[in-house]
Amino acid sequence: MAANLLDHDLEGLAAFCAELGEKKFRATQLFRWIHQKGASDFGQMTDLAKSLREKLESNACIQGLSVISQHESADGTIKWLFDVGAGNAVEAVFIPEDDRGTLCVSSQAGCAVGCRFCSTGHQGFSRNLTTGEIVAQLWFAEHFLRRHLHTGGERVISNVVMMGMGEPLQNYQALVPALRVMLDDHGYGLSRRRVTVSTSGVVPMIDRLGEDCPVALAVSLHAPNDALRDKLVPLNKKYPVADLLDACNRYLEHAPRDFITFEYCMLDGVNDLPEHARELAHLVQHHAGRGVSCKLNLIPFNPFPASGLVRSPQHRVQAFAKVLSDAGIVTTVRKTRGDDIDAACGQLAGDVQDRTRVDRRIAQQRTIVLRPVPADSTKEA
């Protein structure tokens, strides 16, 4: 069976070329053709010897993902749905801004974590993506956008965030080589500061990532205490808040940035009250006596029917942000992008067939109801 060269970082590609009896520098040439020039045909690779091209034709391929659909938002956001076989699909989203172009990439088909506020998690888990399937999202998007935007070969994607479908750190073996392709100067040449892995808190893998391939880290926190986070992020029962924050401090010893980004999805009457904000500020500033160097990113909830949750009103989001800012914590409110094409945070592939019967499994479990507080207690002061 032909090897898909998108599955290899440069070191892996060098090993593959060695198996073909070729020198290491051939791997670098091949790597550049694939990732810098977007080539998928070995015949295009004119500086490779004809004998090598013939070996590659017989033993290798450059196999991307089939595009099921493409949707472009009024704000310029583009969402692609990719076929990964057996009825499974994953999505990637390009978010253009004045000073950057960000691609949100998926790491799994579905997600096993099952956060209450995420429609992707509600559809359940199908399988991990391969390294090649992760890289293929960037490979396709970068070279499509160069043609679409007529850049003359100039790079379009400056930032990659592993914030699409799935928990990246539960697909660690495929993730790390994909990150190395993104970072490699012969590949996409992205800065470690501009590649972000988002995790719901897989503590042992946070430690491994810090050792193996430290990039920017975003942690889905969403609650200031274990009791509430247990209900919102089930993984918290295995890796509670204190353990998670300890891991964040260990990661900062290796990280390319001097802070961790904490993501906090704002849920009406559930985690968005002033007392939650005060507790959160105390948590990140005083954990283990020294706190965690961080930035807080408040995320508007993108509703879906099965969640039973509601987006926090804007006035409460701003009041929450003010408590954090007044405490000296850098706080941003994420601007929602791609709502009209269901490309916003937590919406990815929410309409894809549920292949793991998650609805049935949830119905068989004891339901935890998150009750909003009475309306009269949530008015602005």
**CATH for 250:** 3.20.20.70
Same domain, 26 and 70: no
pLDDT of residue 368: 33
pLDDT of residue 2: 94
Final residue in a domain of this structure, among 61, 84, 102: 61
Final residue in a domain of this structure, among 37, 61, 85: 61
pTM: 0.90
pLDDT of residue 291: 98
| C-alpha distance from residue 150 to each of 75, 103, 144, 146 (Å) | 19, 18, 10, 6
Burial class (CB in 10 A: 0-12, 13-18, 19+), 379: exposed
210 in a labelled binding site:
no
225 in a labelled binding site:
no
253 in a labelled binding site:
no
Taking CB atoms within 8 Å and a gap of at least 24, the contacts of 225-232 are: 225/279, 225/283, 228/270, 228/271, 228/276, 231/116, 231/368, 231/370, 232/115, 232/116, 232/117, 232/267, 232/270, 232/271, 232/370
- Of 166, 54, 59, 153, the closest CA to residue 111 belongs to 166
pLDDT of residue 340: 61
Cα of first residue to Cα of last residue in the chain, in angstroms, is 67
pLDDT of residue 120: 81
Same domain, 188 and 56: no
- By annotation, the residues acting in catalysis are 91, 345
- Of 281, 354, 349, the closest CA to residue 320 belongs to 281
Residues of the chain with pLDDT under 70: 337-381
pLDDT of residue 119: 85
104 in a labelled binding site:
no
- Provide the residue range defining the domain that includes 372: 66-377
Same domain, 332 and 192: yes
C-alpha to C-alpha distance for 250 and 245, rounded to whole angstroms: 9
